[in-house]
Amino acid sequence: MALIVQKYGGTSVGSVEKIENVAERLIAARKAGHDVVVAVSAMSGETNRLVEMAHQISDNPDPREYDVLVSTGEQVTIALLGMALKERGCDARSYTGSQVHILTDSAHTKARILDIDEAKIRADLDKGRIVIVAGFQGQDEHGNITTLGRGGSDTTAVALAAALKADECQIYTDVDGVYTTDPRVVSDARRLEKITFEEMLEMASLGSKVLQIRAVEFAGKYNVKLRVLSSFKEGPGTLITYEEENMEQAAISGIAFNRDEAKLTILGVPDQPGVAHSILGAIGDANIEVDMIIQNVAADSTTDFTFTVHRNDYERALDILNKTAKELAAREVVGDNAIVKISLVGVGMRSHAGIASQMFKALADEGINIRMISTSEIKISVVVDEKYLELGVRALHAEFGLEEVGLN
């Protein structure tokens, strides 16, 4: 008998009928002899609806109250799922994050899970019950409700699986696995049988929202067997694994992209020690995260400095940069919030040369201008104009033969 943690995302619980479908699946897993713990998200659209209401009241809603508000969506789902199970004669108990002591730090809206008291869950499992836990939420040491960041129910599930030493953590969603790229953008994207933790971490952090990045981190750290599957269609899904030695690796495993990007440039700043700090220090003090950074080679003792931020932070970053520009007597500040980032990811890049130039040529052939580039051991990212996102991703998908993945 195995202990399985399942997680159902928003679209999988998007209506009463779908919740009933989840109940049937859970009963099937129970009948197969497994102990089952299930984490669920809010019904699709609900978290967005709550966030929008908060923003009608304030541009900057109080973080504590924001968490009290947005955590309510999941409570609706756990209760409906509990009812659906009991209606079918299956013993079940639903719990909020606080009720099963999902202890987090106090970083409201993006809290980290520190501990889960699994005793209560075990006691229910021992009685043969299915345990339903609200995803995305916890409480801090003072008893305040916290939330784990958008997409955080994935992390709840993985944390539960780690705490309970579950045999497998199954993330059920509206696609039947992790694909070579978002199948909504490239119709011939292919499902991957397996992807390494390292690659999945890069994909998630570079914009593939199929798994929350912290869930992948957590699973890697605590050795949780993690699988992404469809809640609508049978199949093996995608297993997230450790890299196997001697595994024949394609150069590229996947393409991630992020539409939430904006870039800012300060032109004609003095080329002297401390300038990068003056520019980015002020941005960091405002709690704005900076992603890519480029500083040009100095010409005439001044230089230009470009960086990217999340699109939501664009206006704020621009205001701050304009102030810095005055202080540094810089020539000009320019910005662009209609840019996107496209990234190639693959552990095979370590042993394949020439991937970057192949990528740049494929984009050039489509007439796509590259605005920024950054690389690391297993990824290459470029920033391009937003209007080229689909064209760029499709061109790269074809260039690297990703539509052949998994075909024999």
Residues near ligand ASP, by CB under 6 A: 9-10, 41-42, 47, 73, 135-136, 150-154
- Which stretch in 168-176, 239-247, 292-300, 312-320 sits in contact with ligand ADP by CB under 6 A? 168-176
The binder of 254, among ligand ADP, ligand ASP, Mg ion, none, by C-beta within 5 to 8 A per type, is ligand ADP
In the complex, minimum distance from the CB of residue 281 to ligand ASP, in angstroms, rounded to a whole number: 31
**Checking DSSP bridges between strand 194-196 and strand 238-241, what pairing results, if any?**
parallel
Contacts of 38 (CB under 8 A, 6+ apart): 5, 6, 7, 8, 22, 26, 81, 130, 131, 132, 133
- Residue 291 interacts with ligand ADP (CB under 6 A)? no
In the complex, minimum distance from the CB of residue 103 to ligand ASP, in angstroms, rounded to a whole number: 18
Q: Which of these, 54, 78, 177, 173, lies nearest to 131 by C-alpha position?
A: 78
Residue nearer to ligand ADP on the CB measure, 95 or 179? 179
The binder of 175, among Mg ion, ligand ADP, ligand ASP, none, by C-beta within 5 to 8 A per type, is ligand ADP
Residue nearest to ligand ADP (CB): 9
In the complex, minimum distance from the CB of residue 152 to ligand ASP, in angstroms, rounded to a whole number: 5
- Residue 195 and residue 368 in contact, taking contact as beta carbons nearer than 8 Å: no
The binder of 137, among ligand ASP, Mg ion, ligand ADP, none, by C-beta within 5 to 8 A per type, is none
Residue nearer to ligand ASP on the CB measure, 111 or 363? 111
The binder of 174, among ligand ADP, ligand ASP, Mg ion, none, by C-beta within 5 to 8 A per type, is ligand ADP
In the complex, minimum distance from the CB of residue 286 to ligand ADP, in angstroms, rounded to a whole number: 28
The correct pick among 179, 197, 305, 307 for binding ligand ADP (CB under 6 A) is: 179
- Residue 151 interacts with Mg ion (CB under 5 A)? yes
- Binding residues for ligand ADP, rule: CB under 6 A, are 9-12, 41, 151, 173-175, 178-179, 181-182, 184, 208-210, 254
Binding site for Mg ion (CB under 5 A): 9, 151
